[in-house]
Amino acid sequence: MVGFLAVVGVLAVAGLIWLWPTGAEVDGALNRIGDPPGVTYEDATITAIAAGCTSVEAPGGDLTCETATVELDSGSEAGQAADIELIGPQVHHGLRAGDSIEVMRLPTPDGVHYSFSGINRLPVLLTMLALFVVAVVAVARWRGLMALVGLAVAGYVLLGFMLPAIIVGKPGMAVALAGSTAIMFIVLYVAHGISLRTSAALAGTLLGLAVTTALGAIAVGAARLSGFAEENEYDLAQLAPGIDFQELLMVGIIIGGLGVLNDVTITQASAVWELRAAAPEWTRRRVFMSGMRIGRDHIASTIYTIVFAYAGSALAVLLLLYFTNREAIDLFGLELFAGESVRTLASAIGLILSVPITTGIAAITVGPGRPVPETPRHADPVAPDPAP
């Protein structure tokens, strides 16, 4: 097992070195979207909101329109007031006086015009992040802290290597496998320590990832999926023409299976080690069978997690099923739904098979059963004669 992991680790590092794009390659592959000359983005604070708009009618004629009076907090007009129109979806943000927003400043021959750009959500996000870190460290302590360190390094691999490599047109499958393998090595060993137990979980994760990749590749080809399911893909194709969207779909399948695989495999490996510690006399077969009983419960609960996680993230898309005169089962043949179905099912099958794989590796690695020395039996002491 250690030899297998060493070979895979060397191949992952070699893949990172070979595929890591240079800054010049990334810049050359991007068609960046620029703002008109003179446009800047400034901070502002809402002082009042009134119903209706004075200059233009809301698109469609039936969307709500409001006018927000703001005080500019940055730029050459800082401290001055300006009126910002909130049209359509912008009204539903629930903005009120005192909220901090970002506005776009556009100089024109008729003067400077301001329009709504976005909401300053950074304080809320930073607060939630701080609460997350405190909760992790308070409950998981040192191991939770190390998990956060591993997560930060994994995020760097994802954002610094995998996404730029895909943008410049590197082989998507090779990028996904090299990056995902490196992430799993980092996350598992940093969070759980270097041990045979962690190595067993890592081996099970990598083999489960291989199953997911193989099934995903076969299903994507058999279903003739192109990777173009929504308008976002068409927009991205204009900005980064070097991307192979069929391979991008495969990259999504591989990355999507990482988190759940990691959760299942480390749990199974830990369960096997705890079973061995509690029953050192058990044979490997008995340890494996007991571990599988735990794994079946874990599989059942994780399948619910996968399905409901997808349903929650794609709720708006699923609602579209109710607004068509076609049967819902027919719509699942569309790439929008078929791509997500292949992604979910490939990850689920890899997850299910990773349970017996990891449990078997852990049962072999944990060592054979050993007899427990019998506790010597002592004769019961003779009770003294009762007093006369």
User: Residue 56 has which token pair?
Assistant: 């233009």
76: buried, middle or exposed (CB in 10 Å: 19+, 13-18, 0-12)?
exposed
Question: Which residues pair with residue 45 across a beta bridge?
Answer: 71, 100
Place of tokens 């098979």: 353
Each residue of 206-240: pLDDT tens digit?
998 888 888 888 888 888 888 777 777 777 877 77
Mean pLDDT of 77-97: 81
User: Residue 252 has which token pair?
Assistant: 């999504």
Nearest to 365 by CA among 267, 265, 269, 275: 269
CB 41 within 8 A of CB 75: no
Answer with the residue of higher pLDDT: 384 or 85. 85
pLDDT of residue 74: 85
293: buried, middle or exposed (CB in 10 Å: 19+, 13-18, 0-12)?
exposed
Domains in the chain: ranges and CATH: 1-21+127-365 (1.20.1640), 40-119 (2.40.50)
Each residue of 299-353: pLDDT tens digit?
887 777 777 777 776 677 777 777 777 676 766 777 777 777 787 888 888 888 8
Pairwise CA distance, residues 279 & 372, whole Å: 9
Mean pLDDT of 141-146: 87
Query: Residue type at 281?
Result: E
Helix (H, G, I), strand (E, B) or coil at 219: helix
CB 323 within 8 A of CB 188: no
**Residue 172: is its pLDDT beyond 80?**
yes
User: Residue 185 has which token pair?
Assistant: 């090595």
**Residue 56: is its pLDDT beyond 90?**
no
Element (H, E) at 86: strand 81-87
Helix (H, G, I), strand (E, B) or coil at 286: helix
**Residue 244: is its pLDDT beyond 60?**
yes
Which of 79-88, 250-259, 274-283, 374-383 is least confident?
A: 374-383
Each residue of 8-29: pLDDT tens digit?
999 999 999 999 988 888 877 7
Nearest to 213 by CA among 14, 355, 349: 349
CB 75 within 8 A of CB 105: yes
